Chain A
Amino acid sequence: MALKPEPVPGSNLPAVISQPRDLVEPIVVANTLWQSSNPIAYNGGQASDITHLREFEASGEGRRDNARWAGPLEIIPTKADIVLDLIRANSLWPLLSGLACCAIEMMSAATSKNDMDRWGMFPFRASPRQADVLIVAGTCTTKMAGPLVRLWEQMPEPKWCVAMGDCTCSGGRYKRSYSTIQGIDRIMPVDVYVPGCPPRPEGLIYGMMKLQQLIKDRRGHWPERAIGPTVPEDL
């Protein structure tokens, strides 16, 4: 980002940079329901200054968190990171989100015959807040693109994305359609592509094992990715 943040009086956060484009009116909901015993906790019950993810990205604040241990642990050599990566790679929790045909094969990969749980990738979470991996299974249409990016942004870091099927890799057999996104990497970063229409469950498991290798090798997108929007501006 070329924009330079400025401090705001009364706030410990950098200023919000106004974009040249029209932003949606932010929703600011003040907490009136409960109070913490610590008066300065949770920003004193006040609404956060950050009201929009695009503004947050412009502030550069999110760039600091690269999901590594911080504080006194920074002096421990990178061995600690390796241990942390091993833990992350062996308990991947995918988001239970199926869009179309590939979702059936994704379910098949999770059930008895091809048991993904054996490699530590089973517990499909229905809430994005609890998920590590977004397996985009099936054709993503323009109408579904907004909710899907929203799901992706609701997932906490570190997070990874697996594009399952030809439709999400490149558009596949619906490449020429007027209503589909030609490749999910136009709207969100992708770590592993699993081609096939649809790929066999073994193919998905192979892709997830590749993702585990990526995490262990630290070649995933996430170390240099910031918290915040990852949507291209000109979509």
Chain B
Amino acid sequence: MTTRTPFDIPAHASSDDPRVTLDEQLGTFEPIPPYPPRTEREAEFYTLRDGEMFVNMGPQHPSTHGVLRVVLKIDGEKVVDLDPVLGYLHRGVEKLCENADYHQAICYTDPLEYISSLFCEWSPVIAFEKLLDVQVPRRAEYIRVLSGELNRIASHALFMGWFALDLGGLTPILWSFIERDEIVEMLAALTGQRMLFNYFRIGGVNGDLNHEFMSRLGTWMSKATNQINSNQALLNDNEIFVRRARGLGVMDTATALSMCMTGPNLRATGVPFDVRRAHPYSIYPELDFDIPSRTEGDCLARYLLRMDEVKQSLRIIDQCLHEMPDGPIMAKLPRLIRPRPGRAYAAIEGPRGQYATYAISDGTDQPFRMRIHDPSFVHLQTVGLLTPGNLIADTMAIMASLDPIMGGVDK
């Protein structure tokens, strides 16, 4: 057995220095990091045995859902080990929030999980409302739940398209983008933006329901169930897809719990944990909906579970529309918000799992510290457990079934 450790790159080089990044990575884009191994795990990973080689996947790669870079250690076609390299989309959101007042901070957290922006606003808004001890009007809560569940359907529609695309099917993404475009157009009528809505405010929402939104929503709801069923029939009844996804990347319950997985990925392993039921917020205790769960824990279960969630979201939207009360949409608040010193934690159930914000106030008009917990980051860690032993092509399928969004991972 021969081993080699190619760590002969100068120690002063740091991948965080932009000049070094531009100079050295232009010439060479080695999978080996430009510094000596910092941990035993790194030293072990970057040491090759006989027959093994490194393959650098990313950061520009159509299948990694953004700018994730993964160093694969492969033996033939089989993945032996992998090392994700993060930080290609690190925008310093938490630091920016500390230098913005409470209203502006919501704008910075918006593009974190950019295909479900309303949930990225919802969590800090609830945390700030806890700090301020504000009672949100009931109509505002209904509007939040209504628009949030619409956004959840749009996010899951995109998941369906991407998952099929990573498994090699091109048609479902065209169908899912039709669905997603209809939803974001109606949300644009409500909020004024297609993706980064910036709609939730501390103490309510920005604008009331308007005629265009309601007419678009009514048209869509009348055909939504049929359309979603026919979209899902593309994949659910496709034998090639089902046999490819079944039994791939199986996660057992104990590992999922110890890795802190939440959301659909945890529910696919048999734990019906949902923040909307476990730690209720907003008006979810009053609504009637089921928490779907599955026991297989493989890629197919994760996919089917999200498709079940879409149907539950439709039920919630239906109830919201029938029980929508009249009243104000904003609580009475001063322009300049100065909460008392204290700390608040707010967790919500996003399309990917538990999305949480921990905010500390020191009595000024700016948050002293904001910590954002993103489920994508947690789920991306489990790729290292699920992938080894599978083929290279399965890496993309497993990663897509976990549905990470790199904006949330890197913050």
Could you show 30 A-B contacts with beta carbons less than 8 Å apart? Answer: A96-B62, A100-B111, A104-B195, A108-B180, A111-B174, A111-B177, A112-B174, A139-B91, A141-B91, A143-B21, A144-B88, A146-B21, A146-B22, A146-B25, A147-B25, A149-B22, A149-B26, A150-B25, A153-B26, A173-B107, A173-B111, A174-B92, A176-B99, A179-B90, A179-B91, A187-B22, A198-B195, A198-B196, A200-B194, A235-B22
B89 touches A176 (CB 8 A): no
Partner of A104, one of B60, B88, B115: B115
What residues make up the interface of A, taking CB atoms closer than 8 Å to B? 24-27, 52-53, 96-101, 103-105, 107-108, 111-113, 126, 138-139, 141-151, 153, 173-174, 176-180, 187, 197-198, 200, 229, 231, 235
A126 touches B62 (CB 8 A): yes
A100 touches B89 (CB 8 A): yes
Who on chain A is nearest to B111 by CB?
Answer: A101
Q: Chain A's nearest CB lies how many Å from the CB of B34?
A: 11
B29 touches A150 (CB 8 A): yes
Q: Does B286 belong to the interface (CB within 8 Å)?
A: no
Residues of B within 8 A of A153 (CB): 26
A149 to B356, CA, bound (A): 35
A24 to B9, CA, bound (A): 11
B89 touches A105 (CB 8 A): no
A107 touches B24 (CB 8 A): no
Who on chain A is nearest to B24 by CB?
Answer: A24
Number of chain B residues whose Cβ lies closer than 8 Å to a Cβ of chain A: 46
A173 to B107, CA, bound (A): 8
A97 touches B21 (CB 8 A): no
Residues of B within 8 A of A112 (CB): 174, 177-178
Q: A100-B114, A126-B62, A144-B89 are in contact. List 4 more A-B contacts (CB 8 A).
A: A108-B180, A145-B21, A200-B194, A235-B18
Residues of A within 8 A of B90 (CB): 141, 143, 179
Q: Chain A's nearest CB lies how many Å from the CB of B351?
A: 14
Who on chain B is nearest to A53 by CB?
Answer: B26
B89 touches A139 (CB 8 A): yes
Residues of A within 8 A of B21 (CB): 142-143, 145-146
Partner of A197, one of B88, B92, B196: B196
Given known pairs A105-B194, A143-B16, A235-B18, the reply for A151 and B177 (CB within 8 Å) is no
A105 to B26, CA, bound (A): 29
A141 touches B95 (CB 8 A): no
A147 to B158, CA, bound (A): 27
Q: Does B273 belong to the interface (CB within 8 Å)?
A: no
B45-93 contacts to A (CB < 8 Å): 59-62, 66-67, 87-93
Given known pairs A174-B96, A177-B96, A180-B91, the reply for A101 and B181 (CB within 8 Å) is no
Residues of B within 8 A of A179 (CB): 90-92
A111 to B179, CA, bound (A): 11
Which of B16, B115, B173, B194 has the most chain A CB within a 10 Å cutoff? B194
Residues of A within 8 A of B22 (CB): 145-146, 149, 187, 231, 235
Residues of A within 8 A of B227 (CB): none
A205 to B1, CA, bound (A): 56
Q: Does B19 belong to the interface (CB within 8 Å)?
A: yes
Ranked 3 nearest A-B pairs via Cβ: A101-B114, A146-B21, A111-B177
A235 touches B195 (CB 8 A): no
A150 to B88, CA, bound (A): 15
Q: Chain A's nearest CB lies how many Å from the CB of B78?
A: 23
Q: Chain A's nearest CB lies how many Å from the CB of B9?
A: 11
A101 touches B196 (CB 8 A): yes
Who on chain B is nearest to A21 by CB?
Answer: B23
Residues of B within 8 A of A52 (CB): 27
A174 touches B91 (CB 8 A): yes
B178 touches A113 (CB 8 A): yes
